C-alpha cells in the first residue's frame, strides 16, 4: 500500500502504476487509495450532512434547497429574508486557528438573486448583522472565515444581545467542543405567530425576529446529550445558565426537527432533557 501511494504521488511513474493496477490485488488497492485521496480532498461538511435538520414538510419559502458552505449549511426563508436554520459540526480542531476576523459582509451568491440580501441593507437599522455560525468557529480556514460573513448567515440582532449574551454562548460552545471532541450546532431566528414583525432593509424586506434559538448535541459514545437555548431579541442580559431548555421545547416552538437523522432512541432521550451542569 505504501509502495502504491508513493507511485501515485510520483507523477513520473505512470507505467509502474499501470503495471501494479493490472494485478487483481493492485486494482483493489488502487481503488481504495483513490477513495481515500478523494475523501481527504473533500471539506469535512461534504463528507456527511447527517447532522442537518429536516426541511419542514409544509415549508413555504420560495427557496427550498439547503445551501452548503465550507463550514456550515443553511435553509433560507424567502418570506423573512433570513435563514430558517444554520447548522454546523464544531470539532475541537476547529476551535483553534490563526485566521483574523474578516468583518467584510457579502451577499451570498448561492441565494437566488431576488432574495439575496446585501451588506448595506442593515445600515441605519439599529440592528447588528448577527452571525448564526460565528466567526470564532471559522478561524481554522480562510475560506470558512470569508463565507461566514455571507448575509445568508445573518439575522437582525439587537446589538447588546449580539455582543454579550449571544457571544457568551458562542464562547461556551467552543469550550464544549474541546471537551466533547465534536458538537453539532443548529441555530436560527424565532418568529412568533400572531406578531407583526419589525422590518428593515432597502431592496428587501428583512423581518426582525422576536428571538433566537440554539441547540447543541454531543454524540460522544456513552455520554450522548443535548441542550437548547432561547434568547429574546433585546438588550437585556440573558445568561445561558438561565435560558437553557430542552431541544423538544425549541422544536415545539419552531416546528423544526433539529436532529432528525440521529438514531431514534438517542434522539428521543437527549431531546427530552437538558441540564447545564452536564456541560460544565
Active site residues: 131
Contacts of 132 (CB under 8 A, 6+ apart): 72, 74, 83, 86, 153, 154, 155, 187, 188
The CA distance from 196 to 170, in Å, is 29
Dist CA 103 CA 146 (whole Å): 9
Give every CB contact of residue 268 below 8 A, 6+ residues apart in sequence.
Answer: none
Residue 83 DSSP SS3: strand
Cell of 87: 447548522
The CA angle 82-84-89, to the nearest 5 degrees, is 110
HSE-CB of 46 using CA atoms within 13 angstroms: 8
Which DSSP letter does residue 254 get?
H
| SS3 state of residue 177 | helix
Residue of 132, 135, 126, 62 whose CA lies nearest to 103: 135
Amino acid at each position: 500500500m505504501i509502495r502504491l501511494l508513493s507511485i501515485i504521488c510520483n507523477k513520473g511513474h505512470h507505467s509502474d502504476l499501470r503495471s501494479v493496477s493490472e494485478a487483481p490485488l493492485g486494482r483493489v488497492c488502487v481503488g481504495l487509495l483513490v477513495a481515500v485521496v478523494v475523501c481527504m480532498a473533500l471539506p469535512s461538511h461534504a463528507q456527511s450532512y447527517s447532522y442537518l435538520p429536516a426541511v419542514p414538510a409544509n415549508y413555504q419559502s420560495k427557496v427550498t434547497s439547503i445551501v452548503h458552505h465550507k463550514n456550515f449549511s443553511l435553509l433560507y426563508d424567502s418570506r423573512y429574508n433570513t435563514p430558517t436554520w444554520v447548522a454546523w459540526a464544531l470539532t475541537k480542531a476547529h476551535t483553534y486557528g490563526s485566521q483574523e476576523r474578516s468583518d467584510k459582509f457579502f451577499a451570498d451568491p448561492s441565494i437566488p438573486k431576488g432574495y439575496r440580501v446585501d451588506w448595506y441593507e442593515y445600515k441605519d437599522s439599529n440592528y447588528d448583522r448577527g452571525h448564526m455560525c460565528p466567526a470564532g468557529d471559522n478561524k481554522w480556514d480562510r475560506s470558512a472565515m470569508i463565507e461566514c460573513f455571507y448575509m445568508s448567515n445573518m439575522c437582525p440582532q439587537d446589538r447588546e444581545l449580539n455582543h454579550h449574551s449571544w457571544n457568551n454562548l458562542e464562547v461556551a460552545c467552543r469550550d464544549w467542543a474541546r471537551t466533547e471532541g465534536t458538537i453539532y450546532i443548529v441555530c436560527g431566528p424565532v418568529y412568533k405567530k400572531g406578531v407583526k414583525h419589525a422590518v428593515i432593509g432597502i431592496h428587501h424586506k428583512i423581518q426582525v425576529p422576536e428571538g433566537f434559538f440554539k441547540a447543541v448535541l454531543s454524540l460522544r459514545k456513552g455520554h450522548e446529550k443535548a441542550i437548547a437555548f432561547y434568547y429574546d431579541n433585546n438588550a437585556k442580559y440573558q445568561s445561558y445558565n438561565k435560558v437553557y431548555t430542552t431541544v423538544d421545547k425549541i422544536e415545539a416552538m419552531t416546528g423544526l426537527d433539529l436532529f432528525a437523522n440521529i438514531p431514534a432512541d438517542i434522539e428521543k432521550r437527549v431531546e427530552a432533557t437538558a441540564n447545564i451542569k452536564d456541560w460544565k
